């Protein structure tokens, strides 16, 4: 496989929009996205609250739209999904996407609304690692995704189940329905399967990662925000995640989904096979560590620990709603009011990116 190109730039609030456009062009995004096709923007709402580092930033979203429009990609649409702990409508409003969609006349579709898209059975050409076993009744994807470009808009952050999260993980919400929690115990292989499917159904795939504020600790929500000031982009989803993970301080080839994506020939996960353009990141190491929170401790027991044999009982039956409620209570009604609000308030007052968010219109 040829070397992959990943673009990395340092940025600041005063120039972030233009820096993003420069970044995308340095990464050669037009080589990956077919002109004349609809381009899906798959933003990342890990939490409906505007928690720094958790969600696609408004400047990330707006810059990508501007760049696409300037370069003749006029058919742009955003697709949202929901999870057990996020409300897509609340998330796009609190994270300031709604006014951007209105300003640029970007239609928004919701993959959980029947009137927006239909879920159809899909037979992958690639041999599946786990999805055919997790879903023996068939793998279902949104029909709307087929034959369209997609741009993933994740952030640079840690994740309690996958160590890091980025381009590959961003497909999780879009391509799998509300039963995607079935895959948590085989999450790394799931991400590899999903990338294989993406390569079959999309006319082009690209990723733009926001690391202006990165998330250190038990993500994708309860993290410590870090002013990293980096933005990253590339067409090789494995390579983009490898470079982002390396910058966070992890060995990409020790992260299963990156290593296995590389082994499967879906992209380059070895930094030696990736050309980084823009910044010299050879000495960048943010020193991130994932750590634990209440959700990860429960997950370790249920998904990977002694209760793993009982997964179908707990998660394939109505008992799952106990865990859905528990997750909502922990994140929205304990962690955010007790810890998160103060972190958000302090960040918006004392961080240049937090101040930009409060002023963003």
Is 300 within a domain?
no
Q: Distance between the two ends of the chain, CA-based, in angstroms? A: 43
For residue 272, pLDDT over 80 is answered with yes
Is 329 within a domain?
no
Is 360 within a domain?
no
Q: What DSSP letter does each residue of 83-134 carry, written as one string?
A: BTTB-HHHHHHHTT-HHHHHHHT--EEETT-TTT--EEEE--SSPPSSHHHH
Over residues 96-128, the pLDDT tens digits come to 999 999 999 999 999 999 999 999 999 999 999
Is 298 within a domain?
no
Residue 321: band (very low, low, confident or very high) from pLDDT cuts 50, 70, 90: low
For residue 334, pLDDT over 70 is answered with yes
C-alpha pair distances (Å), 321 with each of 177, 216, 314, 315, 332: 16, 29, 9, 8, 16
Is 352 within a domain?
no
Is 311 within a domain?
no
The answer to whether 153 and 80 are in contact (CB under 8 A) is no
For residue 81, pLDDT over 60 is answered with yes
Is 338 within a domain?
no
Is 60 within a domain?
yes
By residue range, what is the domain housing residue 281? 4-292
Number of compact structural domains in the chain: 1
Residue 263: CATH number of its domain: 3.40.50
Produce one character per residue of 250-288: b if its CB has 16 or more CB atoms within 10 Å, e if not.
bebbebebbbbbbebebbbbbbebbebebbebeebebeb
Name the percent of the chain lying above pLDDT 90. Answer: 83
Over residues 49-65, the pLDDT tens digits come to 999 999 999 999 999 99
**Average pLDDT, whole number, for the chain?**
92
């Amino acid at each position: 496989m040829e070397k992959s190109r990943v673009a990395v730039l340092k940025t600041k609030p005063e120039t972030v929009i233009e820096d993003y456009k420069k970044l995308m062009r340095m990464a050669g995004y037009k080589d990956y996205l077919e002109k004349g096709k609809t381009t899906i923007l798959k933003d990342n709402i890990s939490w409906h609250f505007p928690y720094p580092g958790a969600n696609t930033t408004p400047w990330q979203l707006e810059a990508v739209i501007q760049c696409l429009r300037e370069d003749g990609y006029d058919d742009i649409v955003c697709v949202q999904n929901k999870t057990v702990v996020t409300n897509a409508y609340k998330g796009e409003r609190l994270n300031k996407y709604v006014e951007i969609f209105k300003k640029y006349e970007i239609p928004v579709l919701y993959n959980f609304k029947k009137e927006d898209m239909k879920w159809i059975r899909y037979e992958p050409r690639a041999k599946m690692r786990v999805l055919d076993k997790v879903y023996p009744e068939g793998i279902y994807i949104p029909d709307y995704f087929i034959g369209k470009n997609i741009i993933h808009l994740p952030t640079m952050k840690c994740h309690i189940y996958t160590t890091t999260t980025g381009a590959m993980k961003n497909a999780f919400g879009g391509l799998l329905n509300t039963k995607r929690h079935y895959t948590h115990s085989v999450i790394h292989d799931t991400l590899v399967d999903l990338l294989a499917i993406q390569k079959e159904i999309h006319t082009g795939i690209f990723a733009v990662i926001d690391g202006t504020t990165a998330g250190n600790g038990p993500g994708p929500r309860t993290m410590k925000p870090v002013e990293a000031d980096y933005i990253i982009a590339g067409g090789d989803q494995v390579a983009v995640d490898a470079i982002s993970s390396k910058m966070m301080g992890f060995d990409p080839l020790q992260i299963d989904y990156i290593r296995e994506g590389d082994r499967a020939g879906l992209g380059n996960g070895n930094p030696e096979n990736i050309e980084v353009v823009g910044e010299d990141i050879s000495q960048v190491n943010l020193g991130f560590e994932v750590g634990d929170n209440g959700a990860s401790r429960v997950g370790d027991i249920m998904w990977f620990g002694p209760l793993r044999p009982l997964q179908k009982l707990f998660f394939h039956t109505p008992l799952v709603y106990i865990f859905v409620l528990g997750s909502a209570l922990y994140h929205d009604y304990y962690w955010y009011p007790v810890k998160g609000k103060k972190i958000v308030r302090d960040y918006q007052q004392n961080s240049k990116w937090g101040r930009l968010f409060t002023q963003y219109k």
